[in-house]
Amino acid sequence: MKIPFLSFELLHSAIRPEMVTAFENFYDSYWYVLGDRLVEFEKLYSEFNQIKHTVGISNGLDAIYIALKTLEIQAGDEVIMPSNTFIATVLAVSYTGATPVFVEPNLETYLLEPTKLEAAITSRTKAIIPVHLYGQACQMDEIGAIANRFGLKVIEDNAQAHGALYRNRMTGTFGDINATSFYPGKNLGALGDAGAITTQDDSLASKAKMLRNYGSQQKYRHDVIGYNMRMDELQATFLSVKLNYLNEWTEKRMEIAKRYREQLISCKSIILPVVHPDATHVYHLFVIRTERRDKLQEFLQENGIGTLIHYPIPPHLQKAYTHLGYVKGDFPIAEELAKTSLSLPIWPGMNFNQVDYISDRIKSFFT
């Protein structure tokens, strides 16, 4: 059996007629940037998240960057983030001139550990970026309480967790201003690059809108040095269609994860992802851990099963960040996760036969 790590085939063939019609309407609208379709998607995404504002941005990395800029994060500031995040979180902070400060995640949930935050806070700290990594919501109440106590801003990186909940409230609604990505492989994915900011705050939302569009609110009047970081009208068109299916697709991801757990619980050589009792997990990724990760990945490849590693090198050991002066051993949990994590295929449209085959191959590897 051949099972790719990710396939859009079933997902996209099922909605093809709707997507093609939406494209034709876009094509015939003769309006291609900052038009009605983006406004429509922003409205729909705000409704989905039960939040006041969505601002469509060119991609997830730019969305984090714009979020930081609206909060006026700058050189000399420090911004706290988990030591095991995807590089985009770190890059966005670097663009502002601020210094990324890493805090180790919880070894079971892989998420920013609130009890370790306080030790990382200095007089320069301005903001915390919790990352709902792999699709599980961070402990936002605990993180928010610490942020409040120290007067820090919170920016959620919600690129992997559209629709996940912490104590029944959706990710992307806790922070002062939050960022998400609609990269094609994300749980809600465009057919190209796209991202967004979400916020309850009117003035932050209008500032973000200005920043994404040349620092302009009124055509040819520029109040700040802005950027061209707008979500594409075409991507907004596709995303409005796909948003209707997000809940259904999330349920499918959850069912696949449940099946993996049932099949793999007996396999004592691997560690399954742990979900915090107050959080939900929308399974952007299903990440297992084993000391024999590389050999297991090779074995699964030989058996036709595609897997990936998220992520093989933690940010503090990336060449791009040698100037921060970190060495191996500085963030042992992030390093351990990088060494032992393996992401199994999980996409809506996968069937239980495929999940069972993958699980069976994993068990046979260890016996």
Ligand X SMILES: *Cc1c(COP(=O)(O)O)cnc(C)c1O
Nearer to ligand X, 236 or 362 (CB): 236
Candidates 183, 214, 283, 311; binder of ligand X (CB under 6 A) is 183
Of 217, 214, 212, 215, nearest in space to 229 by CA: 212
Cβ at position 112, least distance to ligand X in Å: 12
Number of residues engaging ligand X in binding (CB under 6 A): 15
Candidates 54, 70, 84, 89; binder of ligand X (CB under 6 A) is 89
CA gap 102, 193 in Å, rounded: 27
CA gap 309, 340 in Å, rounded: 9
Q: Is 88 in the site for ligand X (CB under 6 A)?
A: yes
Q: Is 189 in the site for ligand X (CB under 6 A)?
A: no
CA distances in angstroms from 289 to 231, 271, 365, listed in the order given: 36, 5, 14
Nearer to ligand X, 64 or 288 (CB): 64
Q: Do β-strands 165-166 and 169-170 pair in parallel, antiparallel, or remain unpaired?
A: antiparallel
Q: Is 159 in the site for ligand X (CB under 6 A)?
A: yes
Nearer to ligand X, 163 or 195 (CB): 195
Query: To the nearest 5 percent, what fractions of the chain are helix, strand and coil?
Result: 45, 15, 40
Candidates 59, 106, 250, 280; binder of ligand X (CB under 6 A) is 59
Candidates 46, 54, 139, 181; binder of ligand X (CB under 6 A) is 181
Of 345, 357, 359, nearest in space to 285 by CA: 345
Q: Is 131 in the site for ligand X (CB under 6 A)?
A: yes
CA gap 71, 53 in Å, rounded: 16
Nearer to ligand X, 86 or 347 (CB): 86
Between helices 36-49 and 233-243, what is the axis angle to 10°? Answer: 40
Interacting residues toward ligand X by CB under 6 A: 59-61, 85-86, 88-89, 131, 157, 159-160, 181, 183, 193, 195
